């Protein structure tokens, strides 16, 4: 029997769920998985190889190569965070073959944290609804599209990507639409998730609010 804790964090892009998850992982000694990076790695590998991201079968093939022909090392690549990958990834994340191929490694991670960890924490879009529906704690971290675009814009400028705020805001809105309206595992809070709106919170306030809800 696995009595270790599982925490599911979901929410749209730029709401702060990654920052919150990393802080909780450290505080509670949990293994952390950024599941968005799995989808980004598939999109990035396809773009690198000039593969057709609209082709479901091919996208599924790339997803099943992750951890095999495509090393998990790619998950740490800064190339996963470019605006180009950001646009491609929400398209491939809507493909059922891709979601199926990435299902197993997420479940395994959630159920089998290293022995020295108290459990696992995963962030994404469907963790509380599909991947870990029986998670001990479910948080849905969100913020307005404008605030999320401001955060993302700042991040891209700092990385040297010269991009207009309006473009970032439009991309965020497009991705929200695609993530929320897709048939397979759409972005939505689980019925038993606690909603945390970070629009008017600093990073520290957002982290503390999530901690309060868990402790
Ligand atoms: O969290 P992120 O922005 O890195 O996610 C990248 C994309 O992957 C985003 O468009 C939604 C998708 N995604 C998903 O469909 N399911 C997940 N569990 C995680 C991410």
Q: How far apart are CA 176 and CA 170, in angstroms?
A: 10
Q: How far is CA 177 from the centre of its chain?
A: 16
* Span 186-208, average pLDDT: 94
Pocket probe for ligand 1: among 34, 39, 45, the residue whose CB has the most ligand atoms within 8 Å is 39
Mean pLDDT of the residues in the chain: 94
pLDDT band (50, 70, 90) for residue 111 = very high
Among the residue ranges 49-63, 128-142, 175-189, the one predicted with the least confidence is 175-189
Does ligand 1 lie within 6 Å of residue 25's CB atom? no
How far away, in angstroms, is 152 Cα from ligand 1 center?
A: 15
Q: How far apart are CA 211 and CA 207, in angstroms?
A: 6
Give the model's pLDDT for residue 1. Answer: 46
Q: How far apart are CA 23 and CA 139, in angstroms?
A: 14
Q: How many CA within 13 A on the CB side of residue 139?
A: 28
Whole-prediction pTM value? 0.93
* Span 23-47, average pLDDT: 97
Give the model's pLDDT for residue 4. Answer: 92
How far away, in angstroms, is 11 Cα from ligand 1 center?
A: 9
Q: How far apart are CA 109 and CA 215, in angstroms?
A: 23
Does ligand 1 lie within 6 Å of residue 123's CB atom? no
The pLDDT of residue 70 is above 90: yes
Q: Which residue's CA is minimally distant from atom 5 of ligand 1? A: 36
Percent of the chain at pLDDT > 90 equals 85
* Span 14-30, average pLDDT: 95
Cβ partners under 8 Å of residue 130, min gap 6 = 185
> Left, alpha or beta for 16 (phi > 0: left; psi -120 to 50: alpha)?
left
Pocket probe for ligand 1: among 12, 14, 125, the residue whose CB has the most ligand atoms within 8 Å is 125
Does ligand 1 lie within 6 Å of residue 36's CB atom? yes
The pLDDT of residue 3 is above 80: no
Cross-strand bridge partners of residue 6:
120
Q: Which atom of ligand 1 is nearest to the CA of 182?
A: 15
Residue whose C-alpha is closest to residue 53's, from 101, 92, 95, 99: 92
- DSSP string over 152-198: HHHHHHHTT----HHHHHHHHHHHHHHHHH-SSS-S---TTPEEEE-
Segment 118-176, tens digit of pLDDT = 999 999 999 999 999 999 999 999 999 999 999 989 988 998 888 999 999 998 998 89
């Amino acid at each position: 029997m696995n009595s270790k804790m599982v925490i599911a964090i979901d929410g749209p892009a730029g709401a702060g769920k990654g920052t919150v998850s990393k802080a909780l992982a450290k505080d509670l000694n949990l293994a952390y998985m950024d599941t968005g990076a799995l989808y980004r790695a598939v999109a990035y590998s396809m773009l690198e190889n000039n593969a057709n991201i609209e082709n479901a079968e091919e996208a599924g093939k790339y997803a099943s190569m992750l951890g095999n022909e495509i090393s998990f090392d790619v998950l740490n690549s800064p190339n996963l965070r470019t605006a180009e990958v950001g646009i491609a990834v929400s398209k491939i994340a809507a493909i059922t073959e891709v979601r199926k191929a990435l299902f197993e490694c997420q479940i395994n991670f959630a159920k089998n944290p290293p022995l020295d960890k108290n459990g696992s924490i995963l962030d994404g879009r469907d963790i509380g609804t599909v991947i870990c529906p029986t998670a001990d704690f479910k948080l849905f971290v969100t913020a307005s599209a404008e605030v999320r675009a401001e955060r993302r814009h700042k991040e891209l400028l700092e990385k040297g990507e010269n991009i207009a705020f309006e473009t970032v805001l439009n991309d965020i809105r497009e991705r929200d639409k695609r993530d929320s309206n897709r048939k397979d595992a759409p972005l939505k809070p689980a019925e038993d998730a606690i909603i945390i709106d970070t629009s008017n919170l600093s990073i520290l306030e957002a982290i503390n609010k999530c901690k309060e809800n868990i402790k």
